[in-house]
Structure 1
Amino acid sequence: MPTERDDAAPSGGLQVVSRSAQILRMFSSDRTEVRINDVAEELGIGRTSAHRYLQSLASEGFLQRINDNDYRPGPLIMGIAASMLTGPKIVDVAEPLLASLAEISGQTAVLGLWTGSSAVAVASKEPAGKSVNMTVRIGAPLGPQSAQGLAFLTWGSAGARERSLAKLGPQRAGVERKLAEAAASGYTVSEAVIDGVAAIAAPVFDAGGSIIATLALVAPSGVLDTSAKGRHVADLKTAAAALSGLLGASTAA
């Protein structure tokens, strides 16, 4: 039975790593969520300490909090899994194009993948020589109203789109309008995720014509030209089409 002493801060880095690994090993194909009480019991620690470990893992993207007691694998873990399932090739092939897009546009370029329930950033490049750049954390979840999330919903499966839209409540109608606009223009725009930050994204297709990734540009609002005929959109769509071609797509939307 855990004692109050178990709720003290972990004594060292090795213990933190070991217990974090134990928590992550609790997940399997048959167990996609864990509860605070489960962690406390299986690790033999107090509930407060278990809660602290889960919160720390969630803050770094390893886990995602569902409610007060339940956690599931987070965007960082899911993003790594997605990149492995699509093959490391996509990240390797995309890196030179990301670097080129960042330099040409003068803005941060980001590669996004779909985890099955949300988009996640798996690689980014910042233009060299600028004193201030936008930084995107790898593993950062990209919600349904982010430019990347909107792109996956626009060109992805109808099932995934409906599941995401069903969670939006009164915001659904506005998002559906954005999806219709994106389907017509070939790119998405968002300024809804972080105040003062804008992003545009374009789909990347595989040999079968399915969306496999997104390319995006992220910059302060007012700096990024989000207009259909603007240079940033043109640069982005050219890079996305090039990456689609390298991945075997015969055409890019």
Structure 2
Amino acid sequence: MPRVSPPPATAIQADAQAGAAPGTQPDESAAGKPQRGIQSLDVTGELLAALVAAGTPLALRDLAAAAGMASAKAFGHLVSLQKIGLVARDTAGRYEAGPLGLELGLIGLARLSPVREADAELAGLAAATSMSVALAVPGPLGPTVVRLEESAWPLHVSLRPGTVMSLVNTAIGRVLAAWLDDEVRAELLEQDALRLAGARPGAGETKAFRERLAAIREAGLDTALDKPVPGIATLAAPVFDHTGSVCLVLALMGPSGVLDTAPEGRPAQDLMAAAQRLSRRFGYMEGAAATPL
């Protein structure tokens, strides 16, 4: 019988460290069990997470402090990250995303579907608030509802996927309008009479409307009470993509006497938190929202 050579000692040590029997492959079926990784890579990950959270280039001292480690310790990890291109240094010596980091980010963004990614937030928001939640996207005719998560509260409103919302008379429409450039918004306003509860044909932008949009940009959300539908209250907030443009509008809807529309109220805070989580997922960095021209 031919003699079988034992596996090299290094392979046995590696298997032992991974928690597997010598000569076997790691058990991928035990996905639910916590698995040990490489501690040094965990530390490196903390530096990357701190850099992402900052959203701006950081000096060594500041980056190390944000990751909760000494500068001397952080420096060695950053040298390795520079070598493989996950981080780079700008002309001032600050650390920022490197070419490989940017490529990985672009791959992730390309795979994202805003509507699909928002499904979990929609369901969670409806469960947390006991209100109906609508999701609208910018469409060629204006903000168009694509998803509706209904609550136990009956809503007597003709809202369904495919409904195009008025830019003037609905919170969803005004939230989108607030971040559109002037030229695009003017074109859409010309057709606002065709939309749900639209304005008069050919209505232009009034001073009051411009002031309302400025207030929406300041607050980060808009409200509607008994308008355009009596008895219905709405809260709407924008979701931004990596370019700073509005890619989705999230809206809470409920009976006027039940849904708290105060900006400091729990429903508004839950709505804005959900919108901010989605924005971060789509690559938005705070302060990068496009400003209308």
TM-score by length of 2: 0.51
Q: Which residue of 1 aligns with 2:119?
A: 95
Label 1:164 to 1:174 Cα distance change in 2 as closer, same or farther (>3 A).
farther
Q: Distance in 2 between matches of 1:131 and 1:180?
A: 32
Q: Distance in 1 between matches of 2:246 and 2:204?
A: 27
> 1:239 Cα shift?
0.4
8 A Cα contact 2:153 2:255, kept in partner:
no
Matched, 1:236 2:258: no
Task: Output aligned runs, 1:1-253, within 5 Å.
Answer: 89-127=113-151, 130=152, 132=154, 136-144=159-167, 145-165=169-189, 168=199, 169=203, 172-191=206-225, 192-251=227-286
Work out the number of aligned pairs and report it. 166
SS at match of 2:268: helix
Unmatched segments (≥5 aa) in structure 1 = 1-85
TM-score by length of 1: 0.59
> 1:88 Cα shift?
7.8
Larger mean Cα displacement after TM superposition, 184-193 or 235-244 = 184-193
Label 1:185 to 1:221 Cα distance change in 2 as closer, same or farther (>3 A).
same
Larger radius of gyration: 2
| Post-superposition CA distance 1:80-117 (Å, at most 9, x none) | xxxxxx99811110001000011111101111011133
8 A Cα contact 1:107 1:217, kept in partner:
yes
8 A Cα contact 1:118 1:142, kept in partner:
yes
8 A Cα contact 1:165 1:172, kept in partner:
no
- Give me the CA root mean square deviation: 2.5
Larger mean Cα displacement after TM superposition, 161-170 or 151-160 = 161-170
8 A Cα contact 1:186 1:202, kept in partner:
yes
8 A Cα contact 1:147 1:188, kept in partner:
yes
Larger mean Cα displacement after TM superposition, 118-127 or 168-177 = 168-177
8 A Cα contact 2:239 2:246, kept in partner:
yes
Unmatched segments (≥5 aa) in structure 2 = 1-109, 193-198
Q: Distance in 1 between matches of 2:155 and 2:229?
A: 15
